[in-house]
């Protein structure tokens, strides 16, 4: 009986020991699992042409294995660069925020990363372009006019921070300007409603306003611009509007892709010598213009009399 009791005690101790061992094993496995998931790459960013891995424990490292001391950039420097982007030449009240011309910025080819693993692209509006980038009569059209209907929402194309969000008296009407981490700025004009405010961070695809016809706009549409250091370039360089997608994750722009801030128009005026029997209607038809335009160019009204031999502007 005593022997049987001792055997039972021994077996019990062995079971408890095994259970403790199992617990220790599970605990160790849990610790190992926590160690394994402690440093997991959750995102990538690019700085100075180099890929950087961001981990879930708030650490980071270059994707390459080895670097010289000169190539290593501290986390503080990364943060400082981002802060400078959203502080230097940051003006909430003017369109052109860069006080200096900064011609040297576009002296050579510029490579710009538009999206990466941490950011994406969204079409500002899914409609067709009806007015292109380039000279339009005597003025240069610095963006694209995209068709819209009343109530259409407008989206931020990329992640960024709102620099300007208010009514602009220069013709843009209700205007939102967003600065992005790569130095680009995107313009969204003629809005009927603005849904964001200056210094607000926005994500790609976030609603920033409603399409409208405020400012100098003949109908409801979105005027969309892309600029780099205030220099406008054709949005079709980076966006395929026909297929509604980004052309490439990276873009290279050359000096002649940018429009100088102080642009001299190649537009030349044209006059017409009035002949006997001619009317504003016949002159307009002959010169591919309208009666309204002729009246505006020559300060005429419906009661004005055209005198034979008089020169009037038709362009």
**Per-residue pLDDT for the chain (315 aa), expressed as one digit of tens each?**
544 444 444 445 444 455 555 555 554 554 444 444 445 555 666 665 666 666 555 556 656 544 444 444 444 455 555 567 888 889 999 998 887 655 666 667 888 999 987 789 999 999 999 889 887 766 788 999 999 999 999 999 999 999 999 999 999 999 999 999 898 999 999 999 999 999 999 999 999 999 999 999 989 999 999 999 889 999 999 999 999 999 999 999 988 888 765 554 444 567 888 888 888 888 888 887 888 777 877 878 877 788 888 888 877
3-state secondary structure of 243: coil
pLDDT at 35: 41
pTM, to two decimals: 0.61
Spatial CB neighbours of 117, under 8 Å, sequence gap ≥ 6? 43, 44, 45
**Residue pair 185/176 in contact by the 8 Å Cβ criterion:** no
The contacts of residue 48 (CB under 8 Å, 6+ apart) are 73
Q: How far from 207 is each of 19, 183, 191, CA to CA, in Å?
A: 57, 21, 12
Tell me which residue has tokens 């939102």. 176
Separation of alpha carbons 157 and 246, rounded Å: 10
Q: Are strands 173-179 and 160-168 parallel, antiparallel or unpaired?
A: antiparallel
Structure tokens at 125: 């509006």
Residues 6+ apart with CB under 8 A from 314: 270, 271, 272, 283, 284, 287, 289, 294, 297
């Amino acid at each position: 009986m005593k022997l049987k009791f001792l055997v039972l005690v021994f077996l019990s101790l062995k079971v408890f020991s095994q259970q403790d061992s199992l617990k220790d094993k599970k605990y160790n496995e849990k610790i190992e699992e926590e160690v394994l998931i402690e440093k997991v790459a959750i995102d990538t960013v690019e700085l100075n042409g180099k890929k950087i891995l961001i981990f879930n424990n708030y650490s980071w490292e270059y994707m390459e294995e080895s670097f010289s001391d000169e190539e290593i950039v501290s986390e503080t420097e990364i943060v400082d660069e981002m802060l400078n982007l959203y502080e230097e030449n940051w003006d909430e009240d003017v369109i052109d925020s860069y006080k200096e011309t900064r011609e040297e910025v576009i002296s050579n080819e510029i490579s710009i990363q538009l999206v990466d693993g941490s950011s994406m692209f969204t079409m500002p509006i899914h409609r067709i372009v009806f007015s292109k980038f380039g000279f339009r009569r005597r003025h240069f059209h610095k963006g694209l006019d995209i068709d819209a209907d009343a109530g259409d929402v407008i989206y931020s194309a990329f992640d960024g921070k709102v620099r300007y969000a208010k009514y602009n008296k220069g013709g843009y009407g209700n205007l939102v300007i967003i600065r992005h981490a790569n130095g680009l700025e995107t313009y969204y004009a003629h809005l009927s409603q603005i849904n964001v405010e200056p210094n607000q961070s926005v994500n790609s695809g976030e609603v920033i306003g409603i399409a409208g016809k405020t400012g100098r706009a003949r109908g409801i549409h979105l005027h969309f611009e892309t600029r780099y250091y205030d220099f406008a370039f054709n949005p079709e360089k980076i966006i395929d509007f026909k297929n509604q997608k980004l052309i490439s994750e990276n873009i290279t722009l050359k000096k002649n892709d940018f429009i100088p801030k102080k642009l001299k128009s190649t537009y030349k005026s044209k006059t017409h010598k009035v002949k006997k029997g001619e009317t504003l209607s016949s002159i307009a038809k002959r010169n591919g213009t309208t009666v309204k335009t002729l009246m505006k160019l020559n300060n005429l009204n419906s009661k004005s009399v055209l005198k034979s031999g008089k020169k009037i502007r038709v362009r």
